[in-house]
Structure 1
Amino acid sequence: MRLLLNIIWLVLAGFWMALAYVLAGIICCVLIVTIPFGIASFRIANYALWPFGRTIVDHSGTASVVGNVVWLVFAGWWLALGHLVTGIALCVTIIGIPLGLANFKLIPVSLVPLGKEIVPAP
């Protein structure tokens, strides 16, 4: 079931959202100071491509809280808005409801990506 959901997700939402994360990561890596944000963005892009069967574990510390505030102001709210709009559009159909819920699950990660680890779901 996870494989089927991931394939449908990839076609309907995953590719476009992952592309947005990659674009944010490239912009962050061009600016030398924000390379940690770029790495986090690439990590979340990988998760946005294939989310079912994996989950996020929080390992936040003081430095990641400060970095997450900066990320939220410059890129996080744009990505969260993309997940919100895509999630609402997917929830219009019955088949798209699990995919829309997955989009809503990615909103907190898009807002504060630093200090997060992607692990296989139990």
Structure 2
Amino acid sequence: MRFLGNIIWIICGGLLSAIGWWIVGLLWCCTVVGIPVGLQCFKLSSISLNPFGKEVVDEGGAVSLLLNILWICFSGIELALANALIGCFLCITIVGIPFGKQFFKIARVALFPFGTKVVRVHF
């Protein structure tokens, strides 16, 4: 069921979300200081491609808080708003609610990506 959900997910906007993460990651990697932020974007793009069967676990600290503040100022709001708007649009129909919930999960990660870890959930 997760496989089918992820295939439909890519069609319903997951690919656009992953492309957004990749573009932001490339922009951050243009500077030496931004390379760790860009690499985090590339890691988190994996949840944009197949979110079903994955959970987000918070493991933040002081350094994560500082990086999240910088992230929100430069890139986080745009990615979080885009994912939240797509999630709201998908929640209009009953069929789209599971996909909208996944976009809301990604929006939370897009707002605070540092100190989060994406883990696979085994049923």
TM-score (norm 2): 0.95
Q: Count how many residue pairs are aligned between Structure 1 and Structure 2.
A: 122
- 1:5-44 paired onto structure 2 within 5 Å: 5-44=5-44
Amino acid at match of 2:53: G
1:75 aligns with 2:71: no
Amino acid at match of 2:42: F
Deviation at 1:94, TM superposition (A): 1.6
Deviation at 1:82, TM superposition (A): 0.7
The structure where helix makes up a greater share of residues is 1
1:107 aligns with 2:90: no
Unaligned stretches of 5+ residues in structure 1: none
Unaligned stretches of 5+ residues in structure 2: none
TM-score (norm 1): 0.95
Q: SS of the counterpart of 1:45? A: helix
RMSD between superposed Cα atoms in Å: 0.9
Amino acid at match of 1:36: P
Deviations 1:49-68 (A, max 9, x none): 10000111111111111001
Deviation at 1:89, TM superposition (A): 1.2
Q: Percent identity?
A: 39
- 1: CA distance, partners of 2:9 / 2:77: 22
Deviation at 1:121, TM superposition (A): 1.1
Q: SS of the counterpart of 1:30? A: coil
